[in-house]
Amino acid sequence: MKAARLYGPRDVRVEEVEEPVPGPRELKIKVVLMTLNVPSIVSLILFRPGFAGCMECFEHERSPDVRFAKCQVQNMASAIRARVRTSSRRHPRNNSTKQLMPRFSGTVAALGRGIDPVEWKTGTNVVVDPLISCMITTKCNACASGHRNRCPKVNFIGKSADRKGGGLAEYVTIDVQHVHKIPDTISLEVGACIEPIAVAWHAVKRANFNEGDTALILGAGPTGMFILRVLRSIAPRSFILVSEASATRRLLALKHGASDVLDPSHTHFGVTGVIYKATAGFGVHAVFDTIGVQSTIDAALLCLRTGGTLVNMAVWKRNASMNLNFLFKEITVTGAIAYDNVHPEVIEAVAGGEIQGIEGLITDRIQIEDVLKQGFLRLLNNGDEHIKILVRPFEPPKVEEDPNDDTAENIEEGATAQDDQTNQVEGAKSGSDDPPLAPSGEDIGTSVNGQAGVTTGVVTRGRVSREGAPETRFVEVVD
């Protein structure tokens, strides 16, 4: 079978390897689709300075007498980076290769010993919860309490150096406890995104966000965009502001339900002004920081209302300073790492139509042979243009056209004639060549320039259609 394997920095090779055989309590899964995104895999693949893709890098290179708990008390990120910079460029634990990718969907291909054939039938569509922990309940409080994501040894299938490979291959074998069925109402493309949706779902739960609450999302990368979709599933009409430096991603945030967006690179007016104007001076109920710089933490503390919640989802490069006088507002500052047994809830929410628009976050589809150049390197060099790139290990089936079948041509001609008539009618009604705005369109807002800001000042302006998605005619307003 084909598999993409990591040999070293910028050295990912697609090669033929032996097809895996499921062991006891394992399922063999035919991988249909995998997702790539910027923060998790790219840094690991390229060994970029300042980031160590997985905890195993640190576990291998630290001296045996250094306890993991001690590193948690210190600045974890700095400790890991120091190890990466001073170590050799060889892969952790001197393994020659490593099969990557924790996020994928597929179908059951074979059953290992001890698997119930009635419950798990071949051909069943599935997704994988790739989170793994030590599960030593006598020594690990996190695993003993059922919160595996808080385990000091937390890792992921497809990232950990001493585990079986991830989904960047045609077939994988996975312990059945990590596998979840998905109904036919969820496509395998959306299924490949269940894991990042679970990350966002867990963070929103940590914020105790409810219908009618307001929110600020700092950063519109993959994590921020999935948080936006989850928030909109709970509060479809609430005010949600997104702060993002990339103009491309600001437009994407508007398309996926942001009430307003702003550019943090313009510091002449702060995010606080936009927040206070939209919330009658109260501030937002929840802030999600996906960036992790000093200005974002400052903005978050200023924009929270009394009793609000700040959820940190970023790994910080350096320690931040924080004004602890927020005790007067009794706000909650918490973190969210990965997810905590939420896959069944997420699958139910997606299948029931609560979380929608996931297909719009898939920005490209490629074959496994192109995973390095068209996948990882594109995300590194043109990350602003992509949220999720799907990878297919198998060639999609080709549909052969019947040269004698002119049905499609007739349908296309009929649709074209109908479109021409519709355009003529709309043009006569509007008296203009411009396409009409949605009748229920509403102004989605613009920034008010002033003083005192930590972030922002440029807001994209548009109109909202009946479905709640902004139209494509936008004007950027800068005072």
In this prediction, residue 89 has a pLDDT band, given cuts at 50, 70 and 90, of very low
83 confidence band (pLDDT: 50, 70, 90): very low
Residue 59 has pLDDT above 50, yes or no: no
Q: Residues of CATH 3.90.180.10 domain(s) within the chain?
A: 2-185+352-392
Per-residue pLDDT at 149 exceeds 50: yes
CA-wise closest residue to 189 among 363, 327, 380, 34 = 34
Range 243-247 contact pairs with CB under 8 angstroms and sequence separation of 24 or more: 243/216, 243/217, 243/218, 243/219, 243/271, 243/296, 243/299, 243/455, 243/456, 244/219, 244/220, 246/220, 246/384, 247/460, 247/476
CA atoms of 95 and 7, how far apart (whole Å): 9
Range from 56-70, 173-187, 422-436 that averages highest in pLDDT? 173-187
DSSP, collapsed to helix, strand or coil, labels residue 247 as helix
Residue 455: pLDDT band (50, 70, 90) is very low
Angle of helix 194-206 relative to helix 343-351, nearest 10 degrees, comes to 110
Can you identify the CATH homologous superfamily of domain 202-337+442-477?
NAD(P)-binding Rossmann-like Domain (3.40.50.720)
> Per-residue confidence at 15, pLDDT binned at 50, 70, 90?
confident
Residue 340 has pLDDT above 60, yes or no: yes
Q: Is the CB of residue 135 less than 8 Å from the CB of residue 359?
A: no
Q: What is the pLDDT of residue 445?
A: 36
The pLDDT tens digits for 287-336 are: 999 999 998 999 899 999 999 999 999 988 888 898 888 888 999 999 99
Q: Which two tokens stand for residue 246?
A: 């990339």
Contacts of 72 (CB under 8 A, 6+ apart): 152
Locate CATH 3.40.50.720 in the chain. Answer: 202-337+442-477
User: What is the DSSP track for 30-93?
Assistant: EEEEEEE-IIIIIHHHHT-TT--SSHHHHHHHS-TTS-HHHHHHS-HHHHHHHHHHHS-SSPGG
Mean pLDDT, range 88-99, rounded to an integer:
42
| CATH entry 3.40.718.10 includes domain 2-185+352-392 | no
Please give the pLDDT value at position 37. 63
Q: Nearest-5° angle of CA 61, CA 159, CA 319?
A: 60
Instruction: Choose between 259 and 453: higher pLDDT.
Output: 259
For range 353-380, the mean pLDDT = 88
What CA dihedral angle connects 60, 65, 67 and 70, to 10 degrees? -120
Q: Is the pLDDT of residue 8 over 90?
A: no
Report pTM. 0.73
Confidence at 401, pLDDT banded by 50, 70, 90: low
